Structure 1
Amino acid sequence: MGIFRGSGTDSRAPPNSAGVICTCTSIDKDQYFEEDEFEVKAFLTKMIWQLGLACFLPNESNKKKKTNNANLEHNKAWLLAESGGAELTNADPQSVHSSFRFSLCSQVELESMNMNSLASATILMVNLDSGLNDTKAKELKWRRIQSLERSISPIANYLARFSYNEIAAATCNFSKGRVLGRGALSFVFWGRVGFLRTAVAIKKLDKEDKESSKAFCRELMIASSLHHPNIVPLLGFCIDPEEGLFLVYKYVSGGSLDRHLHEKKKKGIKGVSALPWSVRYKVALGIAQAIAYLHNGTERCVVHRDIKPSNILLSSKKIPKLCDFGLATWTSAPSVPFLCKTVKGTFGYLAPEYFQHGKISDKTDVYAFGVVLLELVTGRKPIEPRRPSGEDNLVLWVGY
């Protein structure tokens, strides 16, 4: 916010100023202000127009005027230059400070005022949504992208990099019919990419989320380092300054374990799974091997933090594959807990020490996997509020 002081000569604010507030100092008696208050108002209005700002007196037409863009209207500031009242009656008429009282308010505050009380007020509009703010926002966005590029540079060359046009074409412009699932801050779309039309699952992160860059970088770095037959491989990514961040995974066609265990069947029979015991055993064994790999088979121990049936996919041959590393994190060593400020995950699968005290370790995944095993055996969800008291929590019910 620039502040310009002057006597009303042809002066202009710096071209990059986000907004200008004019403040006038007291003028000597020998100068311009030996006229009455009306001429002072006219002079102030002229000076503001020379600075390129709109200056007008509130009237009925202004009160009735409606905006076509509510968001734009609420992004404005108003400078009120109120002329003398009861408090200023005895003031020196040749001092601008003694003749006018200045205040700054928002659009909401202005609308809540009694407009009758503003009959003698000169209102100056200063739009905060100026070109400088846009420029700064773009510069900040580019800096974040450059920082992100530097962070992922060690592994970026080992993954396919897609343009936003390729991502949009693959998902039919993110058609609702292509949605595979959604998380707290992301959507997953089905699509096809490349000359061979390879089927992929494209994860679109929420570009409005301030933490999306960190989450994208962490997931990309972790997922790209994992190579196991029971883990969904990361194929590539897309970084677009305007449209956001995308991760491209291999598509697994058999659906999620959650769907096989808990969805209603075509005949309307509840609680009956189409998975035979041999497949359930195969799922349990495959995910156990994937978790063991995360904790002990990589250079750094990885804690998934969100192991649940909806993050376990089945291939056409019923091979289980662990997916979604959006909450995954590295730990210094297996079984060495560390504190997490924010508890994230899915209720019903959170280990007590994590949920109550924020402690994360490889045991966090082991607990969640234990709940998944109970689901495989019983066909029940971990939390079922409609069940009688004592039976609504699967873990507690099994423990009785």
Structure 2
Amino acid sequence: MDEKQLNKLAERISAASTQQCRVKAVIWRRDPITGRQVLINQLRASRHFEVSSGKQPEEKRREDCFFCTGRTPSTLFYVDESGRVVIEEETKSLEKAKEFWEQQGRKQGNLPDHYALVGALGGITLPERWRARTFFNLTPGLGEEDGNCYVTAAHPAYHYRDLADMPPAIVDAVIASWQVLEKSALAEGRIAVPFINGGKRPESGQSVSCFHSQTYVMNPPALYLDIAERRKTEGCPVCEVMHNDQWKDLFIKRVGRVWIGAYPAPVRNFSFLIAVESDGSKCPARISDLPENVRMDLAESFRMVIQTYRQMFGEIPAYNIAVRCGDEVGHLHAEVIPKTRTNIPAGFEDATLTMALSERPENFAAIAREEMSAAACE
């Protein structure tokens, strides 16, 4: 994406910005006792949440889905059927939004009005076939002064599928969208934090049942700054896990330049580490710098680890994919965390901020190697 396209996207983002239900500022607080960082945004308690315990994904019909029916803020850009990123040019939804806010009694920042707004916009106006589209998160976690929150949703044809069963081209389109958002973030002097709440279960934080990802464009969080400081004195921790003999039993599989292993000290049992290996020059930090072939390998790796969960557990559990990228992190990687009921943090974890696990990551790596080998032979 060149400078002209970035400027065009920035204009589109600015024009659609009134469609988010924003608070001026959230509360960022560092716990004076434990040192942990907390973000407080009371607006989030009122957001729409269609995924509930015990429901199967088929119970939320595609025809009723907010994302699939286009009841969202205006499309900012999309990845078309050929894999090309297209900055949306339609203006009808922007004009409707302006007219909506000019109506008497309508108030930006009032959540019921924002839900009424997306219904009034008239739905999406994209070509019949596309792979992924990106729009503002209607109820963002960040305050107006902190950055922007985006959603990237797959085509409605894939409403009933989770990541494991998505065509590789669709997952690749989601990652290509992250690349665009990271470039946009860098132009603002911020970073991109992409993540997926998956499994169509509330334990992951997934609120809309069809597959989608989110990206927060923000200032570097405390964790990223801590990683940057440790890299200065201790070197790259991701390279250490991939190449140091101490961690060799964590390795599971390579997909091109993408390394898949068990996470060395996870917050939950059965967590994966997915990292992009260096091309021989330096650690790959920015997701926007990945060439298309490596991006496709990363997409396939994401699909593969969720397929492995299904083979292990008999179903896809709730899971989170936390992607860490950017200059502060220094080495692009993702932590994939299943939210199973056999590994729920309890009193000891809260008291000590130390995770108590029942499974050695090395044992999980051995199981995952067998599962992936068996799947490859089928």
Shared fold (TM-score, shorter chain, > 0.5) = no
The higher-RCO structure (CA 8 Å, 6+ apart) is 2
TM-score tier after normalising by the smaller chain length: under 0.3
